[in-house]
Amino acid sequence: MTHQPAANPLVVVSNLKKYFPITKGVLIQRQVGTVRAVDGISFNIYPGETFGLVGESGCGKTTAGRTLLGLYPITSGKISIDGQDMTAIHGREMLAIRRKAQMIFQDPYASLNPRWTVNSIVSEPMRVHHLLNEKDRLERAKELLNLVGLNPRLINRFPHEFSGGQRQRIGIARALASNPLFIVCDEPISALDVSIQAQVVNLLEDLQDRFGLTYLFIAHDLSMVRHICDRVAVMYLGIMVELAERDELYENPLHPYSRALLSAVPIPDPKKERQRKRVILHGDVPSPINPPSGCRFHPRCPLKSEQCTREIPEWREAEAGHWLACHNV
């Protein structure tokens, strides 16, 4: 499906930075460094859209998603969800935003409280936001379980009695309980069997069509991202290096890092697979504690020039709707 963006974005992220301090000492702790997990990213997400965020492990995708919802305090920058500035609100106003914006976590084994029944887990957002009375909450929880493909009769069981795929469905039901507009899906399928992954992705798409949801979909699996997302942003070492419509990015990647990532995705046609050229990146990802000067990708880039080692590339629109940060493309 090709998404036509509405006039006003639902989520606006502008120059977002999230740094974690590194401290030394036991009694008197002093800061000795900083992990630049997210270092100045900007994007908009439109109502009803699925916006993909991809990149290798440690590039800052999950930190960006969690900072977006206020689970981590912002170091600097601006986030606005449904017209409200996340950096300027606290208390009740933050609670109101939390009702509109929810998260599906990566690990279905760690994100559910093992001492709570499914009923308690799914009903908790309704209780926190004072939605419905106790009897109606139980009925709504059963309805949500049914919606995500689980038997409502299992509502008084505990998480350890379910498989990974079933637990992730419980996590999705919990995210839907407060009737949100926006959901951050933090690698919701990476901990699941391949056979279950497609079911969960299809469920997310069905729920989006039914309730008009907007997703930020964080993932490693580039073939799955192509299936579910409308636009895709590529992250490397805390920054965004490319952003484009899904098909445009997959058929015409401009940034050398995006090309390397996409060349690693298997093609089901053996003839095409043999003909295409793999892009092999040499060296390891530098540390976010001490990122390289100039373009962060230059130590591993096949196109690097002298300018790349000195100057940070400008974030520019190379073609209509296709943004990147590179001196040599």
Mean pLDDT throughout 166-184?
Answer: 93
Kindly write down the DSSP assignment for every residue of 236-282, as one continuous string.
Answer: ETTEEEEEEEHHHHHHS--SHHHHHHHHTS--S-HHHHHHSPP-PPP
Q: Indicate the pLDDT class of residue 6, thresholds 50, 70 and 90.
A: low
Question: What is the percentage of the chain residues whose pLDDT exceeds 90?
Answer: 60
132 and 104 within one domain: yes
Asked if residue 17 lies in contact with residue 76, where contact means CB atoms within 8 angstroms, the answer is yes
- CB proximity list for 29: less than 8 A, separation 6 or greater: 23
Q: What is the mean pLDDT of the chain?
A: 89
Query: Euclidean distance between the first and final Cα of the chain, in Å?
Result: 29
**Within its chain, how far is the Cα of 278 from the centroid?**
27
Sign of CA dihedral 111, 116, 122, 123: negative
CA gap 227, 39 in Å, rounded: 28
| pLDDT 10s digits, 231-287 | 999 999 999 999 999 999 999 999 999 998 888 877 777 887 777 777 778 878 888
For residue 197, being part of any structural domain is answered with yes
Q: What pLDDT, on a 0 to 100 scale, did the predictor assign at position 215?
A: 95
153 and 97 within one domain: yes
Asked if residue 65 lies in contact with residue 95, where contact means CB atoms within 8 angstroms, the answer is no
Q: Residue 140 is which amino acid?
A: R
- Angle among Cα 171, 93, 8 to the nearest 5 degrees reads 80
Asked if residue 79 lies in contact with residue 13, where contact means CB atoms within 8 angstroms, the answer is yes
Instruction: Quickly count helices (H) and strands (E) in the chain.
Output: 11, 12
**Within its chain, how far is the Cα of 194 from the centroid?**
20
178 and 288 within one domain: no
Return the number of other C-beta atoms located less than 10 Å from residue 94's C-beta: 12
CA gap 241, 256 in Å, rounded: 9
Q: Are strands 182-186 and 30-45 parallel, antiparallel or unpaired?
A: unpaired
- Angle among Cα 59, 60, 62 to the nearest 5 degrees reads 125
Domain range holding 143? 46-68+89-229
224 and 254 within one domain: no
303 and 154 within one domain: no
Domain count for the chain, please give it.
Answer: 2
251 and 206 within one domain: no
